[in-house]
Amino acid sequence: MTRRNQRHAEIWAIGGGKGGIGKSFLISNVANYLALHDKKVVLIDADLGGANLHTFFGVNKPRTTLTEFFDEKIPIEALIIDSGIQNLELLVGAVGSLAMDSIKYTQKQKLLRHIRKLRADYILIDLGAGTHFNAIDTFLLANKMIVCVVPEIIAIENLYYYLKNVFYRKLITELASHGLRGLVPDIWKHRRTHRIQNLRQLIQHLGRLQDPVPDVVASALKNFAVYIVLNKVRRRPEIAVGSSVKSICAKYFGFHACYAGYIEHDDFVPICINKRQPYMQAYPASRCTQEIGEVAENLIHGRPFVRALHEVS
C-alpha cells in the first residue's frame, strides 16, 4: 500500500437549496481540475433519486451503481467506475431507483462509513437538492461543505433556508451525542417564549444554558464553515452576491462562511452537457475554466475569493 493510500481522503460535499443552479456542473469540473493536477479523486453522485453526474463525462449507461451497494451488499470499492479522465473515478448514484429520503438510517450510516474508507486524495460528493436529513447528514460529513447559488432572489432565499436547516441539524446531532437530543427542537418549538427570532438568537440562548451546552455549541460553531460558490454570473454587480450571502450567514445564522469565488455564465456549458462532453477538456482556455480553477484552488487552501479574474460586462 502506498503512503498516499494510507492517508484519509479529504471529503468535499456540495449542496444547495434548489435544482438547476449548476451544482453538478461545478463539482464535476472541480473534480476534473483536481485530477488534472495529479490528485486521485473519487466523485460520488449521492443524488440517489435523480443521478446524472456520469453524463458529464460521457458515460451513458453505468455498469454499476449504488443500487448494488444497498440491494446486493456489494462493496462500495467494487462499484467505482472509470470516468475516462486520468486520476478521476466515479461512484454513480442509484439511477431512478430510490431517493435519499427512502434509505434507512442504518443504510445511511453504512454508506457514510464506507465512503470515509475510500482510497483517494479527495472524495467529492454531489448531493441532490433539498433538506432531507439523510442528505444533510452526508453534507455534514464533509471536511469542506460547499454551497452553489445563482444570483437570483429565489435561489438565494432557498439557500438561506438550506443553510438554516443544515446548521440546525448540526446543533441537534452535536447535542444528541451528549444526551441532549430534544433540547434544540424543544427550544425552537417555544421560541416565542424565549424571544428567539432567528438561528443566531437560538445560538445565543443555548450559550446561556448550563454545561455542557455552551461548550458543545461553541465547538459546533468553531468546526462549521461553509464555502459559497456563485454560478452563472452575467454582470459585474452580481459578483457581490457571494459577499452578501456571507454577511447574512454571520448576521442571522451566527456561523462563518467563505466566499470561494464565482463562475461566469457560458453559452457553451449546456452545449457540452447535451453532448455529454467534459467541459474543461472541450474549452481548456475559456474564462469559465480559469474561474473553476480559481475556485478549486481557494477550496484547496481554504481561502476566500479576492478579486475578479476577468472584466464581466
∠ Cα 40 136 138 (to 5°): 30
Is 168 among the domain residues?
yes
Q: Give the confidence band of 5 by pLDDT, cuts at 50, 70, 90.
A: very low
Q: Which burial class, exposed, middle or buried, applies to 2 when counting CB atoms under 10 A from its CB (0-12, 13-18, 19+)?
A: exposed
State which residues form the domain around 8: 3-301
For residue 135, what pLDDT is reported? 86
Amino acid at 204: Q
Is 240 among the domain residues?
yes
Q: Give the confidence band of 3 by pLDDT, cuts at 50, 70, 90.
A: very low
Mean pLDDT to the nearest integer, 172-201: 95
pLDDT > 90 fraction of the chain, expressed in percent and rounded: 70
3-state DSSP of the chain: CCHHHHCCCEEEEEECCCCCCCHHHHHHHHHHHHHHCCCCEEEEECCCCCCCHHHHHCCCCCCCCHHHHHHCCCCHHHHCEEEEECCEEEECCCCCCCCHHHCCHHHHHHHHHHHHCCCCCEEEEECCCCCCHHHHHHHHHCCEEEEEECCCHHHHHHHHHHHHHHHHHHHHHHHHCCCCCCHHHHHHHCCCCCCCCCHHHHHHHHCCCCCCHHHHHHHHHHCCEEEEEEEEECCHHHHHHHHHHHHHHHHHHCCEEEEEEEEECCCHHHHHHHHCCCHHHHCCCCHHHHHHHHHHHHHHHCCCCCCCCCCCC
Is 254 among the domain residues?
yes
Is 312 among the domain residues?
no
For residue 99, what pLDDT is reported? 56
Rounded Cα–Cα distance for residues 243 and 283 (Å)? 28
**Contact partners, residue 112, CB within 8 Å, separation at least 6:** 137, 138, 141
> Phi and psi (nearest 5°) for 234?
-115, -30
Does pLDDT of 77 surpass 90?
Answer: yes
Amino acid at 99: A
pLDDT > 70 fraction of the chain, expressed in percent and rounded: 91
For residue 1, what pLDDT is reported? 41
Rounded Cα–Cα distance for residues 132 and 79 (Å)? 25
pTM, 2 dp: 0.91
CB 116, CB 4: distance < 8 Å: no
For residue 205, what pLDDT is reported? 97
Q: How many domains does the chain have?
A: 1
Is 309 among the domain residues?
no
Mean pLDDT to the nearest integer, 159-185: 94
Q: Within 13 Å and on the Cβ side, how many CA atoms surround 256?
A: 14
CATH number, domain containing residue 184: 3.40.50.300
Is 151 among the domain residues?
yes
Does pLDDT of 100 surpass 70?
Answer: no
Is 104 among the domain residues?
yes
Does pLDDT of 111 surpass 60?
Answer: yes
- Farthest-apart Cα atoms in the chain, separation: 59
C-alpha cell at 91: 461512484
Is 21 among the domain residues?
yes
